[in-house]
Structure 1
Amino acid sequence: MAWTAALLTGIGLENLQAEVAEEFSDGEKLFALKVMPTLADKCFSCHGDDPEKIEADLDLTHLEGLLRGGESFDDVVIPGDSEFSFIMEAIRWDNPDYEMPPKENNRLTEKQTWAIRDWIDAGAPWPEEDRVALIRDQYAEGVIVQTSGALSDEWANRRYKEEDLWAYQPIRNPVVPGTHAKSTNPIDAFIDYRLEQYDITAAQPADRRTLIRRATFDLIGLPPVPAEIEAFIKDNRPDLEAFKDVIERLLADPRYGEQWGRHWLDVTRYADSSGFSNDYERPSAWRYRDYVIRSFNQDKPYDQFIIEQIAGDEWDPENPEMILATGFLRMGSWEHTGMSVARITRQQFLDDVTDIVGQAFLSHPLQCASCHDHKFDPIPTKDYYRIQAVFNTTHFADREVPFQEYEHLVDTDEVKVMENRIQYFAEMRDTLNQKQKTAREQWCIDNGVPVGTRRELVKQGIPEEKLPPRNLGLTDEEIGIVKVGQKNVARTEFEMKKFEPYAMSVYTGPTPEKPQSSGSMLTMPENPSESGTYESSHILIGGDPFGRGEEVTPGVFSALPGSNDTIEANPWNTIPKSPEGRRLAFAKWLASSDNVLVPRSIANRIWSYHFSRGIAGNPNNFGAMAGKPTHPELLDFLATRFIENGWSIKDLHRLILSSETYRRSTEHKNRELVIEKDPLGESYAVFKHRRLSAEELRDTMLFVSGELSSTIGGLPARPEINMDVALQPRQVMGSYAASYEPSRTPELRNRRSVYAKKIRGLRNPFMEVFNQPSPDESCEFRHASTVTPQVFSLFNGEDSLNRSIATAINLLENNKTRKKAVETLFQRAYGRKPDKEELVLSLEHWKKMEDRHEGLAFPPRKLPREVERSAVEEMTGAPFSFKEVLFGFEDYVADPSLADVDAKTRALSDLCLVVFNSNEFLYVY
């Protein structure tokens, strides 16, 4: 829009308006830009488009007809007097006998109603067609800005505080602050300059043992092994020189991609199921997850990473990796069934993808602009739908992409379990189908009707009254059971597609005539451009999928330089209106160094994961209602350096981790002064400690116990979860989803948590209680609550108990003395040996627990083999029940339990459990 261009370029908005003030009246502009489009969209179909069928003899396509009125009223419009113009009574729905337009979903919005009111009060001008066209052209070029009070574009006339628009300003390459310009790391110059303003000094450097543990958790999500710690401590080189080698080693570690890929998957809302009421499995989602992990390990330039995820299929359609990358567009919750309304489910996708693109890449939630111009940020509704138009020709497809040599399935044990499940439910279905067939055949013989199914008999012309009854031969209970069999077979066969080379992807083309259901493979038409109908994009009134308003073309933020909706000539005026290439052009705009939001967004995101806070407080939101940057010059410096270094995220890590700011201690010699001067902790005088994330906590317990599998990628792992949750009933389309059954062997179960199967409707209780975010919404940053259930979960839960037992077994197998076992436990868990007091107390506790366990007996763990399910048949309302056999527990290799080990091992596991519950284990300092 013109005002934003004026704001960002220094041109006065008043001067722009003065240039056209005498050429067009406000009433003419209002008619051309607001009133005429509303009349055409809402009224002409009944009042003028067809001269032979004009409702109530009221023609609204020209001023003469409007002033003449219709068969019931002649005062439809009284120029200059909206109060007594009958049209206002009709469009406001004041008179129940004359509500226009007559359908609720087509009713005028408040803004449209006000526009007609102010136009009438302005004299109801009706300029000639060429004059209307000229007004629209000048408005589109940014020369005209509406100024007619409440009826104008409220957004165009709104004034924003300059400080709230910080993210829209050009990225500067700020000068490193004067006296600090020669600092080893420019980051420290910016931070120390502000520290002087706080009048506090920085904390001392962290010791080497603390620093390597901090960096190792940051970069790979696991603790360092004792040998790595000792090597760093004994390195005689200067601290920074030695630490840089640690950084390089960690960045080259393949586990780096697992840790930092998980951060991105938080943002994109990765899950292995689709959510909503049926929560269908997404068999191929794991291939997008692995693409993300590979991309971080390869240090893929971020601008390339953007383009691949938004438009890889358009950019390089023959490259398998590009097809896998577009799984990004499919990550949101989505469902379409035979009971869904296609336009609604389609709009859910369009709203979802528009908003996630805004949050993930632009740090702007966009959803609220779907109904109205954003109240606090310069994002009009038109911008929202212009961005949405980019994706209007994007459709889902599970595309066949051969498995690559770097991809691994891993858990093929699951094939046998699923085949057994199919066979079990197929036999349940087939037995009852045969019973029904026998009864139907006998009925046909007894009633003199040809033997056949109802469908076959209908085709033969047999009337309804002579057809065999539906579900003949089955009891009400059996009717429900046969449907259970059918649906479980179909669902399991669909889920087995995970073993086939499909990619969860998209294609460009028209909207299909009949949308496909989410519980099946979504096929791409053989000729995508010829299968369906291309739909135009419109502003949806109030966000209503059926309330079409003004038509829009693909575009970008009008408040940013490079928008195709500003007065500036620019290279991004080229997002095509044609279906092909929209996403690619848009992705290139996102990935342009001229886009001021994207580099700031990712630089702030990376910083936030290292320091537990962003320079700008909300990584997904740079808007007025979110946190403004505490160090805006530093953020621009990082964004500038990021672009100069080829959009390399690893280079950004190197810069940040090598700073004194990152290497500071969490303790300060004058803690009270820091709290007084910097109560919000924004000065970076000390390093902010953090609790391990849910995934880091689970992975670290497995690391300490020696159970953690190093296998990278592949089908989702299925860790053990609380059995009550695993077996809880989850209804799906009149049946039940299969119970959650963990992977058969510890090696398969105990892979890193980033590979754990993530079902939207069945959360892992241990992970959830430690703040693993829901995949239903984008998570910009993990928060660490402190609540009582965490105590119960970590001290009394099965997860920590099993890890404690496994750790005790491992320690006893690998250490000859009790003293050595305790020392090894401390080294693995804390990265250090116990001091004398800790060693004595630990050995004493071990002995006391052993004495206690000598007199205790524990029953062996019994795994369930079947579950009784009860349901109500959806058509008859009759209750029925059936058994679900748990084939996953056949040949199951269980973790050792308390019943499987002796008193000495159980006692040591108690000590391990104490260690797992200690702050030194749970926190990174």
Structure 2
Amino acid sequence: MRSSVVRSIVFFAVLVALCWDFQPASSAESDISNPTSGADLVDFESDIAPILEDNCWYCHGEDEQESGLRLDSRLSMLRGGDSGLATIVPGKPEKSYLIEVVDHIDEEMAMPPDEDKLAAEDIELLARWIREGAVWPGQMQELKVEKSDHWSFQPVIRPTVPTSRKVTESSNLLDSHIAIDSGDATESGNVTKSSNAIDAFLLDRLRLDSLAYSEPADPRTLIRRVSIVLTGIPPTPEQTEAFVDEYARDGNAAYTRLVDHLMSSPHFGERWAQHWLDVIRWAETNGSESNMYRKNAWIYRDYVIRAFNEDKPYDRFLFEQLAGDTVGVGDATGYLVAGPHVPAATVGREPAAQRTARADRMDEILQTVGASAMGMTIGCARCHNHKFDPISISDYYSMSAVFQDIEFGGRFLELSKDHPRRVRGQELHGLLKTERIKMRSTGPWEENWTGYKEIHLPFTTAKAVRFTFPVKFLRIDELEIFGTDKWNENLALATAGTTVEHSEEITKESMPITKINDGEYGNYAWMVRVPKGNDQKPWVQFNFTEPHEIFRVRISTNREDYFETDYLENLNKLMFGAFEMEVQDESGVWSQVASTNQIAKLDQQHPERVATLKEVQRLVDLIKEEGPAPGFVARFIEPVTSYVFSRGSPESPRDEVYPAGLKELDGDLGLDSSANGKTRRVEFANWLTDPANPLTARVAVNRMWHHIFGRGIVSTTADFGAAGAAPTHPELLDWLASELIEPTEFGQPALQVGDSAKNTESQPWSMKHMIRLMVMSGAFRQSSLPNDGGLQKDGNAALLWRFPPKRVEAEVIRDSILQASGLLDEQVGGRSFRIHNVKERYAQWEVTNNYGPETWRRMIYQERMRRVDDQMFTAFDFPDCGQVKPKRPVSTTPLQALNLMNSTFVMQQSEMIAARAISESGGPGQRAVERCFELILGRSPSVPEIEAVSDLVSDGQLSLVCRALINSNEFAFLP
């Protein structure tokens, strides 16, 4: 039986094959979706080539390719030019950019120009040719994706560490203390083994130019250098002297203990957080014309400080900033909205303007992610394919699709159970609950939550709720009613099925009642203006789908302001005044449950209630400050379908794109437009932090290197593309990237915060591990003094034959002055200290106090405003944060010297340093001068220096000596 079935199958297969062989032959080169007879097909040689040759090939041929476009090759036409759009899409003329431009659909891109427009029959021939498959004899190869051969897109492969090298006899090797860590000297001029791979690579490269390390730095220089690099604060005179003595006894071991101590300091996080905030352009105002303050944006700054102090693994650090809301670290998403933006109120209501502004905001997000995490100028592909790197316009809009649920604004944060703010908030809410129980027995009351009023009621069952407002002008953006079943469920929402009735005849048409329960906060609200002579009172009634037990109500006028901004005059105005609230019970009977007058009478009748209410309000204010609070760390919206915008214009959407990373780096996330926002960002974060992604680790370690040595191995720290610089030490860069991902035996143990004794094995992606390796290297610990040989062959010390001296940043200068006076407030974290006025919405910020006692914290906690000169440290290249600046410029201007000599802050602090020196030295004599040198420069003065200032000291001008020392290069430069 089985054999007969097999024979039947074989016979049928042979019959099908014979029938197939006798079908009419079709062109092997054709991919026609709707083939026609051979006689009707467009012939390329006779019909199409003449059109292209006469009209196109002169500007888009072999010799010249305007806009990166070639039309003398089918593959080039399939690929398209700089626009990123395929010139031809076989079978689909409506998708082919060629037809669009020759048909002059867009006059700006019309080709050829108007007077030379192709004849209608020629355009039709081109369209038919494309529809029939764009058959081009001899050029029917498939379009293949070409991979870039640029170094930064290649996989990170851990190179072999050089283990033996010959250094010339004249080379200056490190002394025995440093050699313990950086290499064992076996005989003069020979290093056979290095326990720090960094030195192995650097010395190997120096040998090619007959160079070597300089002499070791002296211990006084070393402690100042490593303290500023790791914490941003120089050592005190006492710390310096103690280290000098210890170093004389213990050498390398003393330095190791110093590094351990500095890296376990909470000031480590402050220093390295500032570097990260620089590269992402973080600031506390939006930078637009109004330049409004971003409410509680500092919560994100504190997250970054904690992350560095806790040695949060770098891959986790990036993940949380992209999708922290999914893992209880909602404050981390401030990263996504760190750049500037134009607020909606400034944009206006014109739809095209709103779409353009939205596209601009998305571009700010991509600039942040591209520069900081990927080392790529992603924004260059917004209007066309990237000119230098394998980033297409489709890549740009696919990445944009990842972040379509992000909007610039504020929200209450998603915090894990052990988050400090949540723990404090639970404690305060417990106290508030106790006080509310006392209040509830006395009747309704109001709480002021700044952006909204919260009205608390006796527990009341209602199937409808009616509010009457005895006012002439009313504006409400949202009215929320909460039940006892689910604490934060708004029963008034239209999406919950609640319907609304209202005083329709006096409602402003452009601000309808639908705004009152649509779940959207903001300036577009329900508004009523009662005409003169009209005694009608505005009212609104909410009809539930079923009865609910209710107990509190929230009303606001523009709660978006409450979430987003602060420090503006007339902010959070509540435009609804008095109210009367009634409920309808299940039998249909109406009764009043609260009113402004009733609350006032209860306060008069029960004096003890007033005291309780004061305590309630005090706890409310504490919760807003110390507990979970709204912060400008992004708000979430429903993501929309994303399209490629031709030439970057949202008015010219083209093909749909899905959320993805870069195609060059296998960025397909397996998502489509139906994916929710969280999923998009989680998958992108996983792709970005995958060890197979060659950019992430390279960019991270290069930036650490830049902040330690003053110049990255790749000097263009935010551009690893073809337009960026090549690495000076490519093998070292890859070794460092590999070491970040997976530490080896060359790695030193990473420290645990606050416990220098815990030298556990380094965890993957440990930032402290990498920073420690770098500052423990012999390269970091060598002298900065120049020599002729090094200057001739490597003038800027890119090969690190000496430690490159550099001017310290504005923050270091300011914090060092405060430390010298003994007035530096070392409190870590919290609200930024204010130096500006409270302004009107469209006025400019003005500096009102940048030197008073309330400003004597570290400068990282100073309000960081865009487009505002702080009238002192802006002169020291303090970034404006308007544009991506991965590394700060270093300028030298007369204004710097003037600020360090004559500014109010320096004059004030110099007086205090002098007073401290006199107090600690027992009088205003020579010892006081010596103390000033110790406090400011960390050393004693020489005899000539004492003689040079003797007259000033005699005249009681010790503070002027302090001003001169603060203005010295020795104070402002890292040796």
| Displacement after TM superposition at 1:791 (Å) | 1.5
Give the Cα separation in 1 of the matches to 2:825 and 2:121.
70
Mapped contact 2:714–2:720 kept (Cα < 8 A): yes
Residue aligning to 1:176 = 161
User: Against the structure 1 CA distance between its residues 34 and 675, is the aligned structure 2 distance closer, same or farther, given a 3 Å change threshold?
Assistant: closer
1:285 aligns with 2:382: no
Secondary structure class of the residue paired with 2:864: coil
Residue aligning to 1:619 = 717
Name which of 729, 732, 738 aligns with 2:841.
732
Residue aligning to 2:268 = 256
The one-character-per-residue Cα deviations of 1:129-152 (angstroms, maximum 9, x if unpaired) are xx89x99xxx9xxx9417xxxxxx
**Residue identity matched to 2:283:** A
Name which of 644, 655, 660 aligns with 2:778.
660
Matches within 5 A, 1:393-404: 393-395=405-407, 396-400=409-413
1:751 aligns with 2:749: no
Residue aligning to 2:767 = 649
Residue aligning to 1:239 = 251
| Displacement after TM superposition at 1:92 (Å) | 6.1
Matches within 5 A, 1:512-551: 534-551=639-656
Specify which structure has the higher proportion of strand. 2
Residue aligning to 1:841 = 948
1:557 aligns with 2:684: no
| Displacement after TM superposition at 1:576 (Å) | 7.8
Give the Cα separation in 2 of the matches to 1:299 and 1:121.
65
1:215 aligns with 2:237: no
Mapped contact 2:818–2:909 kept (Cα < 8 A): yes
User: Against the structure 1 CA distance between its residues 575 and 294, is the aligned structure 2 distance closer, same or farther, given a 3 Å change threshold?
Assistant: farther
Secondary structure class of the residue paired with 1:795: helix
Residue aligning to 2:37 = none
1:202 aligns with 2:213: yes
Mapped contact 1:555–1:575 kept (Cα < 8 A): no
User: Against the structure 1 CA distance between its residues 500 and 298, is the aligned structure 2 distance closer, same or farther, given a 3 Å change threshold?
Assistant: closer
Identity over the aligned pairs, expressed in percent? 30
1:919 aligns with 2:969: yes
User: Against the structure 1 CA distance between its residues 658 and 492, is the aligned structure 2 distance closer, same or farther, given a 3 Å change threshold?
Assistant: farther
| Displacement after TM superposition at 1:701 (Å) | 0.5
Which consecutive residues of structure 2, in runs of 5 or more, have no partner in the other structure? Answer: 1-26, 33-43, 49-72, 166-191, 425-447, 452-469, 474-502, 512-529, 535-566, 576-620, 744-763
What is the TM-score with the length of structure 1 in the denominator? 0.66
1:696 aligns with 2:812: yes
User: Against the structure 1 CA distance between its residues 214 and 739, is the aligned structure 2 distance closer, same or farther, given a 3 Å change threshold?
Assistant: closer
| Displacement after TM superposition at 1:237 (Å) | 4.7
| Displacement after TM superposition at 1:373 (Å) | 0.5
Residue aligning to 2:105 = 91
User: Against the structure 1 CA distance between its residues 29 and 677, is the aligned structure 2 distance closer, same or farther, given a 3 Å change threshold?
Assistant: closer
Mapped contact 1:760–1:775 kept (Cα < 8 A): yes
Secondary structure class of the residue paired with 1:550: strand
Matches within 5 A, 1:812-823: 812-818=918-924, 819-823=926-930
Mapped contact 1:198–1:678 kept (Cα < 8 A): no
| Displacement after TM superposition at 1:264 (Å) | 0.6
1:771 aligns with 2:877: yes
Secondary structure class of the residue paired with 1:581: helix
| Displacement after TM superposition at 1:62 (Å) | 9.2
Secondary structure class of the residue paired with 2:230: helix
Secondary structure class of the residue paired with 2:164: helix
Residue aligning to 1:890 = none
User: Against the structure 1 CA distance between its residues 923 and 62, is the aligned structure 2 distance closer, same or farther, given a 3 Å change threshold?
Assistant: closer
| Displacement after TM superposition at 1:227 (Å) | 2.3
Residue aligning to 2:939 = 832
Secondary structure class of the residue paired with 2:631: strand
1:910 aligns with 2:960: yes
The one-character-per-residue Cα deviations of 1:204-257 (angstroms, maximum 9, x if unpaired) are 110111011100000000111122222222224553222111110000000000
Mapped contact 2:642–2:656 kept (Cα < 8 A): yes
| Displacement after TM superposition at 1:772 (Å) | 0.6
Residue aligning to 2:898 = 792
User: Against the structure 1 CA distance between its residues 234 and 584, is the aligned structure 2 distance closer, same or farther, given a 3 Å change threshold?
Assistant: same
| Displacement after TM superposition at 1:468 (Å) | 5.7
Give the Cα separation in 1 of the matches to 2:412 and 2:963.
47
Matches within 5 A, 1:372-387: 372-387=384-399
Give the Cα separation in 1 of the matches to 2:158 and 2:834.
48
Mapped contact 1:324–1:503 kept (Cα < 8 A): no
The one-character-per-residue Cα deviations of 1:309-336 (angstroms, maximum 9, x if unpaired) are 001112x1xx2xx101111112111233
1:501 aligns with 2:653: no
Residue aligning to 1:488 = 569
**Residue identity matched to 1:188:** D
Name which of 680, 704, 707 aligns with 2:823.
707
1:599 aligns with 2:708: no
Matches within 5 A, 1:39-118: 88=102, 90-91=104-105, 93=107
**Residue identity matched to 1:835:** S
Residue aligning to 1:227 = 238
Name which of 342, 345, 370 aligns with 1:335.
342
Give the Cα separation in 1 of the matches to 2:100 and 2:812.
68
Higher CA-based Rg = 2
Mapped contact 2:340–2:882 kept (Cα < 8 A): yes
Secondary structure class of the residue paired with 1:803: helix
Residue aligning to 1:803 = 909
| Displacement after TM superposition at 1:682 (Å) | 1.6
Secondary structure class of the residue paired with 2:411: strand
Secondary structure class of the residue paired with 1:549: strand
The one-character-per-residue Cα deviations of 1:725-748 (angstroms, maximum 9, x if unpaired) are x57x97634xx46755448961x3
Give the Cα separation in 1 of the matches to 2:418 and 2:824.
25
Mapped contact 1:299–1:650 kept (Cα < 8 A): yes
The one-character-per-residue Cα deviations of 1:828-876 (angstroms, maximum 9, x if unpaired) are 211111222323333332114x3xxxxxxxxxxxxxxxxxxxxxxxxxx
Give the Cα separation in 2 of the matches to 1:214 and 1:457.
66
| Displacement after TM superposition at 1:774 (Å) | 1.2
1:125 aligns with 2:136: no
| Displacement after TM superposition at 1:297 (Å) | 0.2
Q: What's the RMSD between the two structures over aligned residues?
A: 4.7
Moved more, 823-832 or 593-602: 823-832
Give the Cα separation in 2 of the matches to 1:626 and 1:749.
40
What is the TM-score with the length of structure 2 in the denominator? 0.62
User: Against the structure 1 CA distance between its residues 707 and 487, is the aligned structure 2 distance closer, same or farther, given a 3 Å change threshold?
Assistant: closer
Residue aligning to 1:894 = none
Secondary structure class of the residue paired with 1:490: coil
**Residue identity matched to 2:342:** E
Residue aligning to 2:521 = none
Mapped contact 1:31–1:119 kept (Cα < 8 A): no
Give the Cα separation in 2 of the matches to 1:194 and 1:21.
56
Give the Cα separation in 1 of the matches to 2:740 and 2:75.
46
| Displacement after TM superposition at 1:681 (Å) | 2.5
User: Against the structure 1 CA distance between its residues 125 and 202, is the aligned structure 2 distance closer, same or farther, given a 3 Å change threshold?
Assistant: same
Secondary structure class of the residue paired with 1:712: coil
Give the Cα separation in 2 of the matches to 1:554 and 1:685.
46
User: Against the structure 1 CA distance between its residues 21 and 371, is the aligned structure 2 distance closer, same or farther, given a 3 Å change threshold?
Assistant: farther
User: Against the structure 1 CA distance between its residues 122 and 691, is the aligned structure 2 distance closer, same or farther, given a 3 Å change threshold?
Assistant: same
Name which of 280, 296, 316 aligns with 1:268.
280
The one-character-per-residue Cα deviations of 1:872-916 (angstroms, maximum 9, x if unpaired) are xxxxxxxxxxxxxxxxxxxxxxxxxxxxxxxxxxx1211110110
Give the Cα separation in 1 of the matches to 2:937 and 2:775.
21
| Displacement after TM superposition at 1:292 (Å) | 0.2
**Residue identity matched to 2:716:** N
The one-character-per-residue Cα deviations of 1:757-789 (angstroms, maximum 9, x if unpaired) are 112132312121000111112331122200111
